[in-house]
Amino acid sequence: MARQASIAYHVEGLLGTAVIATSPVAGGNLCVATRVRLGDGRSVFVKTRPGAPESFFATEARNLAWLRAAGEDAAAVPEVLGYDRECLVLSWVETGRPTPEAAERLGRALAHTHLAGAPTFGAEVDGFIGPLPQPNAPSERWPEFYGRYRVEPYLRMAFNRGRLDAGDANAICGVLDHLDELAGPPEPPARIHGDLWSGNIIWSPDGVPRLVDPAAYGGHRESDLATLVLFGAPHLDRLLAAYQEVYPLADGWRDRLLIHHLHPLLAHAAMYGGSYGARAGQVARRILSARQRQTSGASLP
């Protein structure tokens, strides 16, 4: 294991401990991920991003601390050991294989995280979703918050970047016009991860899954579950069933997941293009078609 001088410099300054060696690890395409071995025998996980926005790693550290504060029964997260503008240091977590038992444990733990709640929808400060800024203006009502701060910004961004066509944009706006009636029963703000796809779950050999890379805020708990369903996760049925044991979802939740899919699809369209914009348009049309069938009294297929 070689010693990368720039990463060692950051870590030694933050932890006050000598760095013996560093080695690259898988960690996404936005940041450089490194395993660092310290002089005291510990290993730590380090994320670096030269030129990162000023609050980028401070926001991630705050989000992890907020999720960690949800309590002992809540979903586990790595411990934040230090950060500066271009670097975040976390406790090292070994990776293993997902098991049905670990998925059930995560489902129950995620329910406890959501139950910990939030003061309002949104947050006191703005955050990030991947590399994109994410507005978090506090709001009293979820439909208003979701439409204004989770769908509209990325709809505009994707459209302006040529990654969403006008027909798909109009269909999504049609959903926003009816969001109050589509949103389901009112729920209190939940403490959510905010970007809970399977790549942000570490399946540790100790059987305790850890959540990483949060875009946390006070949101609707169905949003976390919708992201897991949208992008897939190991043993998802077991995870969802265990969640329901702790914090049962309101009737119709599976149908409502489509509404929550709009945010991650539009954010991905703004970031990457590809088929994400068209998929968001397809989801919006499905939502509007189901609404029309229900309001006309027609039976669902």
Instruction: Read off the pLDDT of residues 19-62 as tens digits, 9 standing for 90 and up.
Output: 999 999 987 678 999 999 999 999 999 999 989 999 999 999 99
- The set of residues, in sequence order, having a beta carbon less than 8 Å from that of 60 and lying 6+ positions away, is 47, 83, 88, 128, 213, 214
* Half-sphere exposure for 273 (CA within 13 Å, toward CB): 4
pLDDT score of 176 = 98
| CATH code, residues 100-296 | 3.90.1200.10
Domain assignments of the chain as residue spans, ordered by start: 5-91, 100-296
What's the whole-model pTM score?
A: 0.95
User: Given this model, what pLDDT does residue 4 score?
Assistant: 77
DSSP 256-272: HHHHHHHHHHHHHHHHH
Q: What is the mean pLDDT of residues 283-295?
A: 93
- 253-272 and 276-296 helices cross at what angle (nearest 10)? 150
CATH 3.30.200.20 applies to domain 5-91? yes
Count of positions (residues) in the chain: 301
